[in-house]
Structure 1
Amino acid sequence: MLFLFAMKIKFYIAFFYLLIHASCSSPEGNKLGDDEVQWKEPPVQQPSVPVSEKPKILWIDASANFEYLANSKENVRNCLVKAKNTGFTEVVVDVRPTCGDVLYESGIVEQIKKLGNIERTATWDYLGTFIEEAHNLGLKVNANINIMVGGNIRDGGVLYRETDKSSWATQLYYPSGIISIMDDEKSHAKFFNPVNPEVQTYLLSIVEDLAQNYSNVDGIILDRARFNSIESDFSPLTKVEFEKYIGTTVNSFPYSVFTWKGDKVEPGTHYKKWLEFRAKTIYDLFENARKKVKEINPDIKFGTYTGSWYSSYYNEGVNWASNRFDASLHYSWATPEYKNYGYASLLDLYMTGAYGQTLYGAENEWSVEGAILNAKKVTLGDVAVCGSLYGLNFENKPNDAEEAVFIALTVGDGLMFFDMIYLNMYNQWDAVKKGIDRAIEYSNN
């Protein structure tokens, strides 16, 4: 079904990492062949919080749920009531999907009238209605924006409409050469170049606009706040900015960063500093976005979602660890300075993708338990870690869904369930409720 397309894209990304890892080769973007997670020290624990007080968050994706929610306030109300009765305490409402347009009142970005084949004819405020209805039920609302995207193949978007912004699209370095992501049929979501100052200014204006117009929202979440992939960005602008960062001219670009040997990356002279530079780029975005939000309302939580696979997440140019965690002591790809751009301490809410189908295994980064524990190890207590579960993994597996929820709430600092569409498709509401109730009972004993 069309409304599942966005969900499947996110699943295939996670599944691809899992599949490649299981076959004993490196994930896409982990082509260098990284060190396995070998640390035996326990994670730094957040202060003990009863499970009853930990956040239990339901993600409501825009595209997947658009047919049900776009034109019906009653359906918005019904899904929130069901979430409340299941035990969820918060929702993440996706209001800027990968098309780059929005589902809230904005003076900067166009509002969405159609996703896929579903048209929105209603004129009521989508985000405003979620906030009002959720607050009436005692639920918190976090507004999610897919920040680093400006369009997608199916729905178009700003990068398709506005030719003056064509230079904002990221440039991808493939074995066949460097191309714009707009010309890449493999890339469904069209990412901006995070290094471009004009892009950063534009994205920060979106964050500021959202916080100003909805100062009663409980949280603002940045999703896809990253580079597109290890192939991104290799534009002339990024080369110049990188040269400024390292203080020298970069010859033989991009080969002095890395070369392709088949489908593997072979590091060049500047490879490690390149990874460090990319992490700083995303750190700066987070630092400035947080400042924008807090200046408007310091009570609005500032948060993000990332995958939990830290050992290869440099692929996306993101260091979501604590700035006290020295990745260079554990991984061959990191410089000692890489830690300076860990952004965990900038977050009020962090959701990590514990998307493995294996439930237990403390030393396994790809199990639900291991993903959460390893995320806690690298964040060093700077932010609570909410284990994020992927509903498609539990198709016809209600017992696994219940157990995974229990793990997230007892091993981790909270729960995020992605996505409501799977709760409906596979009738997982009861399983999730059982997992929440069991975790609360376990915590109380």
Structure 2
Amino acid sequence: MKKVPLFITAIISVLVAFCSPSNNQTEGEKPVYMWFDCEANYERLSYPDSIRYYLKKVKDIGVTDVVVDVKAIMGETLYDSEYAPYMGEWEGVERSRDYDMLGIFIEEGKKLGLGVHASMNVFAGGHNFHNRGIIYEDHPEWQSINYWCDSIVPISEMKWHYNGMLNPALPDVQKYQLNIIEEVVSKYPKLDGLVLDRVRYDGITSDFSQFSKKAFEEYAGVEVENFPDDILYWVQDENGEYEWKQGKHFKKWIEWRTSVIYNFFEDAREVTKQANPDIQFGTYTGAWYPVYYELGVNWASKRYDPSKDYDWATENYRNYGYAELLDLYMTGLYFYEVTIEEVEKLNEVAMEKRGEAAMGEGKDYWYSVEGSAQLANKVIKGAVPVTGSLYVEQYEQNTGQFKKAVKMAYNKTDGLMIFDIVHIINKDWWQVLENAISEARQEE
């Protein structure tokens, strides 16, 4: 049987994503997603009645789809897995292994006409504040090795950093994650979508293991004589503060890491579609593209060439843009400032305070909901619908700013995601969000 070219399947996926609304959407209406974080909502999602209650609440305010965490940052799953440990307890609340949280979400969500999507923290394996997770128990050898200031250290020793990430380049890590992805999609055939989160490196300081060194040398066809400083190195200023600098192989290293993530996405899509050809395959990333290379990720379209805009990108970097592999893309427009104009005013005030010497300094336009949505659309180039996502806690008690952000994200992208329901509950912003969604739809 002839294999369908990737670009054809990508076009079909985009058309399906645009043209197939969930039951809670009217035709032509953009989707609105509510995210349910597994840790923040562990207790309230431990009871079927509670799940039913909150699904009805989100449906009533205009939400069309829900996203439910099924794999925590510790590497533990919220369902009974053959591969990963079960998250049967959190902060003193316990669940039995046969408690089927996702199954309840699917059954009850379908009754209400809600789309139900499972989310997974992929290359995350530990919670450093709790000394818990697979990097502490089953697989310490999988954890990220970070080059931090003057030391190379396992990430589990970085206790100021809560997220115990894995090394994405390790074949055993990738196989493990692909097994879990296939398991979830096969176990829950009525799922509407899969949203992969944390498909990335920990940051610019990872991974500096000997495995990564050898893998990079093989990819680049070079021998790194002075490792890790030929990749990046640290300097101290007059106040003793550390700052990293680019080594001579830095740009190729950035390209290689991005190839690792791209290749994993290819495999993950294939595994997902083999298990369920109709499921939407998606991911979440932050929207700050100009610095997202630090995480080893290029979420842009292959048709966008970042080397023309940014000095960190090689000409080959564009080939690892994975937008065409996606049916669903959620981008974190995680900024308090909503409009580009607000950022410009902030810069003006900052320059007035610092004087003329500060001319030219300040935040770029994309440090705003409007600006980051604009940038996301620019680099995605229509390869996949862009869902503008908001972090509710950023708006503190400012309901006006939050409503403005909701309307901006909804109207400047192809949909809206709210992270997370716990903040709507704690702030009692149900009516605020309902009004904002309604007004956004009227303005559309």
Residues 92-146 of structure 1 show CA distances to partners (whole Å, capped at 9, x for unaligned) of: 1011111111112322112211123332248430111111111111001110110
**C-alpha separation between the residues in 2 aligned to 1:325 and 1:357?**
28
Q: 1:155 to 1:235 in 2, by over 3 A?
A: closer
Residue type at the aligned position of 1:264: E
Name 1:106's counterpart in structure 2: 81
What is the aligned counterpart of 1:295 among 271, 274, 297? 274
Give me the whole-angstrom Cα distance separating, in 1, the residues matched to 2:18 and 2:328.
15
User: What residue number does 1:22 align with?
Assistant: none
Q: 1:155 Cα shift?
A: 6.1
User: In the TM superposition, what are the counterparts of 1:173-188 in structure 2 within 5 Å?
Assistant: 173-188=147-162
1:118 pairs, out of 93, 104, 114, with 93
The 1:122/1:244 distance shift into structure 2, 3 A limit, reads: closer
- Following the alignment from structure 1 to structure 2, what is the Cα–Cα distance between the partners of residues 53 and 442? 12
Asked if 1:157 corresponds to 2:158, the answer is no
Are 1:210 and 2:184 an aligned pair? yes
CA distance in 2, matches of 1:54, 1:391: 20
1:86 to 61, 64, 70: 61
1:398 aligns with 2:399: yes
* Counterpart AA for 1:64: A
In the superposition, relative to structure 1, how do residues 250 and 314 fare at CA in structure 2: closer, same or farther (>3 Å)? same
In structure 1, distance between residues paired with 2:423 and 2:140? 36
Secondary structure at the aligned position of 2:384 is classed as coil
**Preserved CA contact (<8 Å) 1:294 1:300:** yes
**CA distance in 2: counterparts of 1:78 and 1:47, whole angstroms:** 29
The answer to whether structure 1 residue 62 and structure 2 residue 38 are counterparts is yes
Aligned partner of 1:394: which letter? Y
CA distance in 2, matches of 1:179, 1:292: 33
Map Cα deviations across residues 32-62 of structure 1 (whole Å, 9 max, x no partner): xxxxxxxxxxxxxx98999952110000101
Whether 1:77 aligns to 2:78 is no
- Quick one: which amino acid aligns to residue 258 of structure 2? A
| Residues 208-357 of structure 1 mapped to structure 2, 5 A cutoff | 208-262=182-236, 263-357=242-336
TM-score (norm 2): 0.86
Give, in angstroms, the shift of residue 248 of structure 1.
2.0
Paired with 2:277 and 2:386, the residues of 1 have a C-alpha distance of 21
**Conserved in 2, the CA contact under 8 Å of 1:52 and 1:440?**
no
Cα distance in structure 1, aligned partners of 2:153 and 2:262: 26
Q: Which amino acid aligns with 2:132?
A: G
Per-residue deviation, residues 282-327 of structure 1 (Å, max 9, x unmatched): 0111110010000111111111111111010111111111111111
The answer to whether the Cα contact below 8 Å between 1:56 and 1:88 also exists between their aligned partners in 2 is: yes
How many positions carry a matched residue from both structures? Answer: 395
Task: Name the CA distance, whole Å, in 2 between partners of 1:252 and 1:440.
Answer: 57
CA distance in 1 between partners of 2:311 and 2:298 (Å)? 15
Task: Return the alpha-carbon distance in structure 1 between the equivalents of residues 212 and 116 of structure 2.
Answer: 36
Once the two structures are superposed, what CA deviation does each residue of 1:155-186 show, in whole Å capped at 9, x if it has no partner?
61222122xx3221110001221111122212
Kindly tell me: are residues 392 and 429 of structure 1, through their superposed partners in 2, closer, same or farther at Cα, counting changes over 3 Å? Answer: same
Q: Percent identity?
A: 41
1:96 alignment counterpart: 71
**Which one-letter code corresponds to 1:375 in the other structure?**
A
1:142 aligns with 2:142: no
- Which one-letter code corresponds to 1:194 in the other structure? P
Letter in 2 for 1:390: Y
| Most deviating of 356-365 and 245-254 | 356-365
- Give the distance between the partners of 1:47 and 1:367, measured in 2 at CA: 26
Runs of 4+ with deviation above 4 angstroms: 46-52
Find the residue that maps to 2:324 and give its secondary structure: helix
CA distance in 1, matches of 2:275, 2:188: 10
Of residues 111, 130, 133, the one that matches 2:105 is: 130
> How far apart, CA to CA, are the structure 2 residues paired with 1:370 and 1:428?
25
Q: How far 1:249 sits from its partner (Å)?
A: 1.4
Is this contact kept in 2: 1:51–1:409, CA < 8 A? Answer: no
Report what 2:433 is aligned to: 432
| Alignment RMSD (CA, Å) | 1.8
Higher relative contact order structure (alpha carbons within 8 Å, sequence separation ≥ 6)? 1
Distance 2:397 2:231 in 1: 46
Letter in 1 for 2:153: I
Per mean C-alpha deviation after superposition, the further-off stretch among 56-65 and 391-400 is 391-400
Whole-angstrom distance in 1 between the partners of 2:81 and 2:321: 31
- Please tell me whether Structure 1 or Structure 2 has the larger radius of gyration of its CA atoms: 2
SS, match of residue 161 in structure 1:
coil
Instruction: Give the gaps of 5 or more residues in structure 1.
Output: 1-45
Q: CA deviation at 1:264?
A: 2.1
Structure 2 portions without partners, runs of 5+:
1-16, 237-241, 342-363
Distance 1:266 1:151 in 2: 28
Give the whole-Å Cα distance in 1 for the aligned partners of 2:91 and 2:224: 43
Aligned counterparts of 1:404 and 1:183: Cα–Cα separation in 2: 38
Secondary structure at the aligned position of 1:193 is classed as coil
TM-score where L is the length of structure 1? 0.86
Task: Give secondary structure in 2 for the equivalent of 1:101.
Answer: coil
